[in-house]
Each structure stands twice: as C-alpha cells, then as structure tokens.
C-alpha cells in the first residue's frame, strides 16, 4: 500500500474540486456513485473545508468512504457530525460512522465501480463485503442522512 503525502492529497483535491464544480452534477443512482463537493467545519479552526467526494448510493442511502480514517476531512466529519453537500436538493447532511456489514457493502460496491482502485485502499474492487469488515476500523464509511 502506497500512502500519498498530505501535499499530494491537497493538490489532487484542489484539482478535483475544480473539475466537479465545472460540470453538471452527476445524478444519484442506486448502486452507483456521484461526484460531489462536501463542506465540513475544520475540527480546530471551525472554518469550512471543501473536499471532493464520491457519494455512493446503496439501498437508497448515501455513503462517503475513505481509505484512511486519519485523513483530515474524516477527522473533521467525525467531530462535526454534519456537513453540506453542494448541488444537492437537500445539501445539509447528518453524518454517521458505519462500521458494520452495511458500510462494508457500500465500500465494496463503490470500489467495484472504479476503473482502478487506488493503492491507498487495503482491499481491491472485487473484495466481497465480508472480507471488507476486518478493515472497517482502518477505513472510514459515513452514511449521510438528510438533516431535519
């Protein structure tokens, strides 16, 4: 597993933010992901932090996944518990960490959609959900529910 530096991740994120914001929003579809921009408050500064995400739809719910639970946006979302998803009809979302088979299934389905799975993931695109479960404390999966 190769780990990208923070500088590399920030550069990739800035490029993806520009790309996502320059295109029409992808539709949400069951079993697929749609690229979005998520904004979450920084855990120390409280300032809004925008990150590109792939919002996976599984059983009608939306999930966002990270190969590394220690990423800044993951830590920010863990602390804040909520975020905003740009261009969605209901942008305010409540975030819940999911570490069970439902989260493992969302990750497995997300990775199976990718043309190439990054080396940062400890699993492949063909890993069944049952084999994803042992990695759920290393990776992060959030269910993003509409805030009321």
The domain spanning residue 107 has which CATH number? 2.30.110.10
d(CA 134, CA 115): 24
- Containing structural domain, residue 40: 6-146
Confidence (pLDDT) at 3 = 62
Give domain status of residue 104, yes or no: yes
| Cα 45 versus chain centre, distance | 22
Please check whether residue 119 is in contact with residue 3, taking contact to mean a CB–CB distance below 8 angstroms. Answer: no
What's residue 19's pLDDT? Answer: 96
Q: Is the pLDDT of residue 68 over 80?
A: yes
Find the mean pLDDT for residues 76-105.
96
Q: What's the structural domain count of the chain?
A: 1
**Distance from the Cα of residue 6 to its chain's centroid:** 17
Task: Report the percent of the chain where pLDDT is more than 70.
Answer: 98
- Whether the Cβ atoms of residue 146 and residue 93 lie closer than 8 Å to each other: yes
Q: Is 18 a domain residue?
A: yes
Q: Which residue is listed with tokens 């120390």?
A: 44
Residue 63 lies in a domain: yes
Spell out the alpha helix ranges (H) of 49-120. Answer: 72-80, 101-113
In a domain, 134, yes or no: yes
Write down the mean pLDDT value for the chain.
94
User: pLDDT at residue 1 above 60?
Assistant: no
């Amino acid at each position: 597993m190769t780990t990208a530096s923070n500088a590399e991740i920030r550069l990739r994120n800035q490029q993806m933010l520009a790309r996502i914001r320059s295109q029409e929003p992808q539709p949400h579809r069951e079993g697929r992901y749609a690229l979005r921009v998520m904004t979450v408050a920084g855990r120390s500064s409280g300032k809004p932090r925008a990150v590109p995400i792939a919002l996976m739809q599984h059983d009608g719910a939306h999930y966002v996944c990270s190969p590394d639970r220690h990423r800044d946006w993951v830590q920010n979302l863990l602390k804040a518990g909520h975020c905003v998803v740009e261009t969605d009809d209901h942008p305010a979302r409540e975030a819940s960490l999911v570490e069970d088979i439902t989260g493992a299934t969302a990750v497995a389905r997300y990775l199976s959609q990718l043309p190439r799975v990054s080396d940062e993931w400890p699993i492949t695109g063909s890993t069944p959900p049952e084999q994803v479960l042992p990695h759920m404390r290393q990776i992060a999966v959030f269910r993003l529910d509409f805030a009321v």
